[in-house]
Each structure stands twice: as C-alpha cells, then as structure tokens.
A and B are shown apart, each in its own frame.
Chain A
C-alpha cells in the first residue's frame, strides 16, 4: 500500500497542470449558466483545444489519439479538471463510453470512420439504451431492427437520451431476434441521427430543464455494416459501454463535493439558527461533519477500487458501491444545504434573493435523479447481492 503518487503519475499530473494553467478558459463562469444550446459551440472548441494537447481522451490507446493512461492517471485527470473547474467536453459520451466501445468491438473500418471525429468533437454521440418499458430491466427493450437486404429497418422508442438534440450519431441497442432469450437477441447499431424517420423530442425533467431527449424511430434504414460487434451479441457490447460509465470519471466528485461542503460551511457561519449561527448549532455541526467524513471515505473507496481494477484488469461489480455511495451522499448533502439555508433554500435561479444564484434549490431537485440514473440504487444492491455476495437472484 502506497498512496503517494509514483514518479510517473506525478509527471503526468504536472504536465497536465502546466497545460491547464495556460489553456483552461477563464470565462467559463459566464457561460455555465446559459442553456446548453447556446454554450455548445464553446464546449466543442474546448474539446478541440484539449485534443490539440492530446488531453481529450487520455484513457484511449496512443494509436487512437489517447495517452494509454492508467486508471490512476485517469483519476488524476478528472481530479485536475475539477480542481481548475474546467468546462465539460462537448462529446463526453463519445469520449467516455462509446469511443472505447468502438475501439473494443469495432472493425478497422469503423474505427477509422468514427474515432477521429469523436476526438475532434466534429460528430457528437448519444446513447439509445433505455426505453419507456425497459429501464432497470434493460434487456427487455423492444425497439426492433429487421434485416431488409443490406439494411436494418428500425422501429421503436428510446428515452433518457443525453445529447440527443445535438447528436450526430447514436449507439443504439435494438432487438434483432425476438425469438431468442431476451439477452441473446440484441444488437448494437451505429445510427446516423439525420436518417429519415428519426425524431428527437426534448424530455422536460422535474428541475424544469431538458438534459435528456426522447428518440423515436420510424422505419429508419441503417446499413448492415453499422452493426457494432456481432449480430445478437449486443448485450455484451452494451454492458461494456456501461462498464466505462462506472470508471474513473467519479474521481472528480471528491473535489466537487468538497467545494459544496466548503461553501455550505461558509453559509452556515452567516445563517442564524436558535439564537446563534448554524455553524454553532450542534445538530448542524454533526451533519456537516458526517458529510465531510463521508466525502473522504468515498475517495478512499474509489482509490481502493481503482487499485483493485488495476491489479485484476477488470472493473468488477464492486463499482456498485461507488454508485450507491456518491448518489446517496449527494442527496444527504443537499438536504443539509436545505436545512442550513432554511426558507432561502427553495429560491430558484431568477429570484434576485436566491443564494448562489439558485444553485442549492436546483441541486436539491437534481440529486433525486442521482439514485436513478446510471443504474438505480435498487439495481446496484441487486448487483452486490447476487454478483458480489453470491445470493440467489431475486428476479
């Protein structure tokens, strides 16, 4: 056990820090509150800049434009990005999830065709996985693809698609064999979002914004050469994408949560409660302390998981711990924020009296989604129960 950075990790971090110091945009603060439609060209430009420095996809193999970074280096990357409050990258799903899946399962022609434009943010990618009737039970999805000559004809509906409105391409999971067992009849298609029959609608969520879209496919023709991996092996391809979802990206959460709690402590010093400040109130103190400690433990858990993956080579189902831990912690953190802010906690952006421009009311609502997106807490507990502890499947 050695929690000091190795010389290589230190060199990686220092090179990145130096690059960020002279390249991270100074005006992100002015852009971050604008609707994504407006800021998207800005995010594209930022990603291109990162790619010029070969920082857009550090986890990718060198031959595909990455740095073949170790998991620990990837974690360092996200920590450093969070430290300087760098803007997100435009093509975050392409870079984080779909690109690596194409590298793993794609043909040479597919890699040549798609990878460079993912890196350059020229083509934005979205994911067509969940459906109205296939959420936690993803393998029960119904969107069907029927082979017609050298094309598949796709019909169905997807939901909770991030970047659907701006996506040029979609990693779409479809059913190609309705007679097979539900995990066995799925295939992944790479779908051009400009194909006739694709319709994208915004999905308004409880926060009032539309981060996600609904996608409708009506007789959409997709060339058979756009199958990723093997026909009817789509479950494995899709699972590999979801595995990347639970990768190093979480490393940035530590700093983000720390920033939250630091700000909350500042606010607690000014908010009155029972004749003193909230910062002096024993109950609030206990809760802030619990949260601070859990933020650290989240990081310890992550570091242990990264080390284990590095040693064994595969991300295991233990990742479910991280998912449960951070999502439920974030909910508790936002509840404490509400307790500290009292009646001011409810004020939304747009009200001049809102604290931190309505950050806390927004975050409070947004965190309800944390225990649902990317695998509900219930599914994560099923994964731990069955795959880690070896209990019989409950469903």
Chain B
C-alpha cells in the first residue's frame, strides 16, 4: 500500500504549479474577475497546449488519458492559483459527463473539441429551489425541446454548448439555439460567473436517457473539493507568511499561541481535506465499491474546512484581512460558492447518514 504520489504525479503537480504561477498570477486573476465572463482566450489556449483540457479523456478523442488522481492534482493547483474561467465547468463537469454517458458519436462531436480546447461548456442542473438532489429536478423535454429555467449554472455565457440534466435524461443545447436566454446572477465568487439559463421551446439533442449520472457528478464533485484544497493550501501559506512578518508588541504575531494554534488547525484541516480528496480520486480511478461514499466524505469535509480555514486566515490577518486589496477574500469567496455547489456539508452528511444509519450497516460489522 502506498498512499503517496508517484514520481509522475509529483511531476504533473509540480509543473502545473509552475504553469499557473507563470500564466495565472493573482494580478491576472484580478484583471479577469472584472470582466463579464472571467474568460481569457490566450490563457485557454495555453491550458490546451499543456493537455489540461483533455487530461482524463481517452486518447482516441484527443485526450491525454490520465487518471482521476491526476485530475485532482491539477484541480488542486488550479485552486491554489484561483484559476478564473470555465476550466472546471468545461473539463471536470461537462467533459466528464460526455465521457461517461455520451455515445462514441457524441464524444467525437463534442468531447473531442473540448480536449482540443476549441470549445467551452458547462452543465445546467439545479432549478429555482437550489436543491442539488437530482431527484428534485423537474425540467423534462417535450418532443426534443426544453422549456423552463436552470439556476446557478457556472460559466454559461462563455459555453459553446450546454449539457442540461432533465428528468428524462441529459440534453445538449447549443449556445445559439432558439429560445435560449442566459442572464447573469451576481454571485459572491468573482472568478467563476453564475447564470440563470432559460429555455423556451429550445431544441435540444438527447445525449443520454436514464443513465446514472452519479459517476460524472462524483468526478466533478471531487474535482471541486480538490480545488478547495488548493485554495486552502494557498490561504494557509500566505497566512503563515503574514504571521511570521507582521509584528505587534515587538514580536511576530505567529509567536503568540492564539495565532500559532489557529495556523496549526488550518494545517490539520488542509491536510485532512487533502487526504480525503486523494482517497476519493483513487477510489474513483479504481472503481472501488466505496467510491461514492469517499466522494461524499471528501466534499463534506472540504466544504466545511475551506470556510473554516478562510475564517481563521481573515482573523489572523486582522484589519488587513478585511480589505479589498488583500487577496484572501478572493479565495474566501470562491470557497463559499464551492461550499454549496454539488451539495454543502449538511447535504453530504445526510447522504452519509442514509448510507450508514438507514442501510443495515452490515459493512461496519464486517470490517
């Protein structure tokens, strides 16, 4: 048993970190977050050159064919850099869904351009009640057409096509389709824009009927948790650095245990979230029987931990942490948005409860 990164995984993570440090500095993040879509063509083609847009997809569709752990490592580094724009929506979310439920023809037509970096995409799921339980989705297609609204759709305005999760399957809608209206929501996270997507008799191509979406959603959920881990790591790093240099009463504030112990807790929370995410990535890669539970555990823990780490960081930064100028709030905003996306900790705890309390709990017995 070896729960550490392999040499090639370390290499990928390291080169991703260097790539983002060079191509996606925090000043670039600030520039993009002031734009309508937080999308930059030049940055996207660089992501594509790195192979990141096709990282986990089969080589026959122009992908790189790496595993889920590699995706998580990449998302972690993207999160550390607070990468703005539709990378998560296009690759981890829409790409995973096409890969999981699309026919070979669909993949050729839609997944391949994603791998090649030619298109952006996203998935529209939740509705006005903001319930992440897929059983609550009410929209359904009539005669190949969709009518109704989807809420909190990330990066919809920059997507070339959208995948829509409806009661009767997954549908693909082109951005230029008739009766499609996309209007921005003013979300807290400035780096990943959210939209209401309205369909009125909008033509939609059916990609899948009643296939289970749990696998692609598990991949996306874990990717989001991995991104949170990267954000936590960055938050921890700058906070520790600040605690070493900021002086009060003639001493670095990191010398005071009230501060130091909060940093220690940030470390514990970050590392624990990372363990949970890596485990979930491995379980997904191996199709382990506990993969879905592992994903739920990872998202549950990371959702709470990211918020807590952010809280501690702002507190340790004092007045500086409350300014617009300091970058911590940018991570803090992302953490809050990601906390609720794909279900917050309370949502996932209830899922765990259903699994461990309501089922016969045989698994724990046999352990």
Contact = CB atoms under 8 A, between A and B. Distances in A.
Decide whether A and B are members of one complex. yes
Contact of A1 (B69, B301, B350): B69
Contacts of A390: 240, 244
B254 A392 contact: yes
Interface stretch (A31-39, A140-148, A305-313, A357-365): A305-313
B314 interface: no
A382 B264 CA distance: 8
Given A285-B353, A286-B346, A389-B267, A262 B275 contact: no
Interface string A79-111: 000010000000000000000000000000000
B357 A288 contact: yes
Interface stretch (B1-9, B28-36, B44-52, B124-132): B1-9
B105 interface: no
B1 A303 contact: yes
Interface in A344-395: 378, 380-382, 384-386, 388-394
A385 B267 CA distance: 9
B244 A388 contact: no
Contact of B4 (A1, A279, A286, A288): A1
A237 interface: no
A137 to B, nearest CB: 14
A262 B297 contact: no
Given A289-B349, A391-B240, A307 B2 contact: yes
A60 interface: no
A343 interface: no
Contacts of A388: 264, 267
Nearest to B272: A297
B365 interface: yes
B97 interface: no
B301 A297 contact: yes
Nearest to A9: B1
A325 B276 CA distance: 14
B255 A306 contact: no
A320 B261 CA distance: 12
A288 B356 contact: yes
Interface in A11-56: none
11 contacts: A1-B69, A255-B367, A268-B357, A286-B353, A296-B276, A296-B294, A307-B1, A311-B4, A318-B271, A325-B268, A382-B264
What are the 4 closest A-B residue pairs judged by CB atoms, nearest first?
A385-B260, A300-B275, A289-B352, A384-B264
Given A300-B278, A321-B271, A384-B267, 12 more contacts: A3-B3, A4-B286, A9-B1, A72-B1, A255-B367, A258-B364, A296-B297, A297-B272, A300-B275, A300-B276, A325-B272, A393-B255
Interface of A: 1-6, 9, 72, 83, 255, 258-259, 261-262, 265-266, 268-269, 279, 282, 285-286, 288-290, 292-294, 296-297, 300-301, 303-304, 306-308, 310-311, 318, 320-321, 324-325, 378, 380-382, 384-386, 388-394
